[in-house]
Structure 1
Amino acid sequence: MSLDTEMSYQQTYEHPPHSNAADDNLDLRSILQQQALQMAELQRRLAEMSTPTFTVPPTPAPHEKPPREKLPILDKYAGDLALYLAWKSKANAKLDIDGQAIGSLSNQAWYIHSRLDGDALAKFQPWMSHCPDNQRTPELVFRQLDALFLDPTLQAKALDWLNETRQKDTPLATYLPEFDRKLLEAGGQNWDDVIKINMLFKNLNFQLHNRSVGRPRPSTYSEYCADLRLLDNDLSQFRAFQNRKGFRRTNAYVPNRSATTPASEPEPMDWIPHVNAGRPRVPNVSGKDAADRIARGVCIRCDKPGHFANQCPNAVLPSRSPARVNAVSSADKQEQGKEELSP
């Protein structure tokens, strides 16, 4: 290649016909931007490599204690049919309140099983032993216990008791809880209050029934029972007042003795109060003595205070005949005459 040709080639390479200064600046700027980005990426990676990272372990959750049982341990059931419903009610309450503390449904079923004893455990054990794990629940346990110990005639017997058993001489404090228990056994907890009130009203004894007539009747059964208790308490206090020692009963009007008597008042007539025709007669007691005992406020039978003839525990004190009274009076006069004549 000649010198002229080489110089021409160098000029052509260094200064191409289509290049200019603006394009060169644009390319250079692009290269610088790429280098700056690469440098920033390298610096970021270098910083991550030089700075140690510490992983903070998560804070462990505090150990939760199982809830404590609120109700006492369930009483054991030995198989008495009369006590089954009461025991079942207490068992349901135990599971409702302390079921979470006892554990899973299977644990609750085993808990009910552990509270059986005697004949009840002997009858229920075969079912519990052959029961699959997925069927060992309180619901199925109680269903099996109902089949074993729930009296199928319980409701019919309770209805008969409610319709036939009257209070009579039974204290209200004893009769009312028994009435409520039979009401529940008969399924009457959801009956209307009017039905329950009328059923209880017709079973009351004569005294409560008589005092309840015309008395405002509450609209709810619970209020009616509370009103009956108040009425029974009033009657008890009245009977205690009647039986109190020294109590006097008289229907006669006692005038005020402090009032001045008119000067023209006639002399009092001798009269004997007659015995009330409605009062029962007492054997061997004359009408005169009976009237005298009534006026003095003592018992017609025994002539002692503090009670009435229908409640008298003593023997009858008979009236003395007029002949005997006269004989006693004559004897007293003779004795008195002898004493006067004696020196």
Structure 2
Amino acid sequence: MLDHHLDALLQAANDRDPDRLFEHASQLYAATEHTDKATLSAVAARFGTVFDLVPPGIGARLGIVAGALAERGADPVPLAEPLVEQLTGLLEQSARFAEAWRKATGEDPPEPDDEDPAWMPSAAGRLTGLPQEEAFALADAWANLYMAHMPVLSILQLSAQVRAALPGRERLVRALTAVIEDRPDLEWLAGLLAVLEDEHLIVLHRETGRGYEVVIGGIGDNFQLHTLLADVVSGPADHGLIEGVQPDPEWVLNATDGDAEPEDGPVSGQFNLVDAYGKWIWNEGVPADIPQVDGVRVVVLDPPPYERSWSPGRRYPMMTGTIRLERILRADEAAAWMSVISPESDSQ
């Protein structure tokens, strides 16, 4: 049955028949409701081939189905290349739209209105100086950009493998950077592209002089990092760990793969996170912002200067946060690291 829907879907794409295409895409998704992950993955891999057969506007709508298949349990890896390729092309066209719009109108580019069928032809009509076909293509890209980025949000959250080896990452980042000031609705994507995977950190506890090497992945912000760091270095002092900083297990669960939007009380901070140069590591930032020393990001754990609390959970609900205590540094190693960091923290 699934092969029948896939065959019909691809045939509709070859026939350039969007009505049949969306009908079969809907039927295919409905038919996968109780499908095992292996079969879902095979369906998604074959579904990914349709993007080469359709124009970007139609592909953006089909991408929603692709993302839903991944959220249902399909392996996102085969979907990454076609979805990223499609999104990157639309981003590049959108940058040209913004430039053409400013040149033609002297104004910032408008927010697209998905509910107004007249929006796209009206926007294209204002791109004076461009051939009509090109103007429509650029307006179409601008209008479909948000939809096209949604499945990429899904696969990035769902797969550490996709995050670690995203095909076309550099081109995608360049294209996103070119439009992000005009498209704040894409900021969640920018944040996901900054997520570190299999990243080694040096963590130093200034009060005891102890040091740790930890490995992180899938951590969306420093609120989440703060909670997980406190958990991984917590334990008996005679084991080389830090006593009295153990966070509530529910906070840790919410920061890894538990409820991403729990209703229970706030998380309390155990430390003040500081970088190697004495600057505070703000919880609102992301691990990728932490500066490196000799190619390694360094986090210093200082006592909190005041009581901090924040909502439990994760910025990206489908992404599992991970942290692993790789090793406790030898005393001489920890001392060597302590000797190169700023002796005092600075809130500025």
| TM-score relative to the length of structure 1 | 0.23
Q: Which has the higher helix share?
A: 1
Q: Which has the larger radius of gyration?
A: 1
Q: Which has the higher strand share?
A: 2
**Structure with larger RCO (C-alpha < 8 A, sep 6+):** 2
